[in-house]
C-alpha cells in the first residue's frame, strides 16, 4: 500500500517512528515534512522524505502567517503523488489532505498528536472555537482517527468518528527483550 504521511514539523520523532513502522510492515511510505528551520538532515531511511523548506517559527502565533504557503505546497504535493492512504498529522495538515483525498479518492487517516486549539498561545474565544469546529468537522472526513492516548478523547468528543485507534506515543525500547 502506498502511504503519504504529512507533518508540519521536522523536529517530531513520532512521525518518523510511524513512517518506519509502516515501512517495516511492507508499505511504500512517503513522508512530507515542513522543515521550518532549514536544518533537517535526511538520513538513509526505508522510506522517502520530501521537505518543504520555508523558514518559520514553531509554536508561535506568527507561524499562522506561514501556514497558507505550507497548505498550498502540501495540497499540490498530495495531488501529484498518488497514494492509497493519505495520513495527516495534526490540524495544520488536515484540510489540504481532506481536499486531496476527495480528488484522488484515497483513504484518509488522521492522527492528533496535539489538539491544535489547546496548544496555541492565548487566543480570543471566537478564534479558538473556530479552530475546534474546523478540526472536529475535519475528523468526520477521516476513515480512521488515531489518538496518542485515551485522555485525548475528551478533546474530540462530539466529532463524528468512523473508527478510532490509539497509537501510544512512547519512546522506543532501550533494551531488547531476550
3-24 pLDDT, tens digit each: 999 999 888 788 988 999 999 9
Average pLDDT score over residue span 55-77: 90
User: DSSP assignment, residue 154?
Assistant: H
Return the CA Rg of the chain: 16
- Position 136 scores a pLDDT of 94
CB hemisphere CA count around 57 (13 angstroms): 8
Q: What is the CATH number of the domain that holds 148?
A: 3.40.50.2000
Decide if 36 contacts 56 (C-beta within 8 A): yes
Residue 116 lies in a domain: yes
In this predicted structure, the answer to whether residue 167 has a pLDDT above a threshold of 70 is yes
On whether residue 178 sits in a domain, the answer given is no
Query: For residues 61 and 127, what is the distance between their CA atoms, to the nearest angstrom?
Result: 12
In a domain, 87, yes or no: yes
CA distances from 148 to 29, 61, 67, 72 (A): 21, 24, 24, 27
Confidence of residue 62 (pLDDT cuts 50, 70, 90): confident
pLDDT value, residue 115: 79
Query: Is 119 within the bounds of a domain?
Result: yes
Cβ within 8 Å of residue 12, ≥6 positions away: 113
Within-domain flag for 47: yes
**Full residue range of the structural domain in which residue 81 is found:** 2-166
pTM of the model: 0.89
How much is the mean pLDDT over the chain?
89
Structural domains counted in the chain = 1
Query: Quick check: 177 pLDDT over 70?
Result: no
Asked if residue 162 is part of any domain, the answer here is yes
Contact by Cβ (8 Å): 44, 23: no
Q: Which has the higher per-residue pLDDT, 127 or 177? A: 127
- Structure confidence at residue 19 (pLDDT): 93
Q: Is residue 1 very low, low, confident or very high in pLDDT (cuts 50, 70, 90)?
A: very high
Amino acid at each position: 500500500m502506498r502511504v503519504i504521511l504529512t507533518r508540519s514539523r521536522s523536529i517530531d520523532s513520532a512521525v518518523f517512528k510511524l513512517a518506519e513502522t509502516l515501512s517495516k510492515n511492507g508499505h511504500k511510505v512517503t513522508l512530507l515534512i515542513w522543515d521550518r528551520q532549514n536544518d533537517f538532515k535526511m538520513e538513509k531511511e526505508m522510506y522517502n522524505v520530501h521537505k518543504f523548506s520555508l523558514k518559520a517559527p514553531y509554536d508561535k502565533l506568527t507561524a499562522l502567517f506561514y501556514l497558507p504557503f505550507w497548505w498550498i505546497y502540501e495540497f499540490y504535493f498530495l495531488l501529484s503523488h498518488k497514494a492509497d492512504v493519505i495520513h495527516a498529522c495534526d490540524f495544520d495538515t488536515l484540510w489540504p489532505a481532506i481536499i486531496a483525498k476527495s480528488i484522488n479518492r484515497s483513504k484518509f487517516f488522521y492522527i492528533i498528536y496535539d489538539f491544535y486549539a489547546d496548544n496555541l498561545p492565548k487566543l480570543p474565544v471566537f478564534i479558538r472555537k473556530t479552530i475546534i469546529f474546523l478540526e472536529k468537522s475535519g475528523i468526520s472526513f477521516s476513515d480512521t482517527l488515531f489518538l496518542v492516548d485515551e485522555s485525548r478523547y475528551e478533546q474530540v468528543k462530539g466529532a463524528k468518528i468512523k473508527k478510532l485507534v490509539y497509537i501510544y506515543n512512547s519512546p522506543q525500547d532501550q533494551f531488547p527483550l531476550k
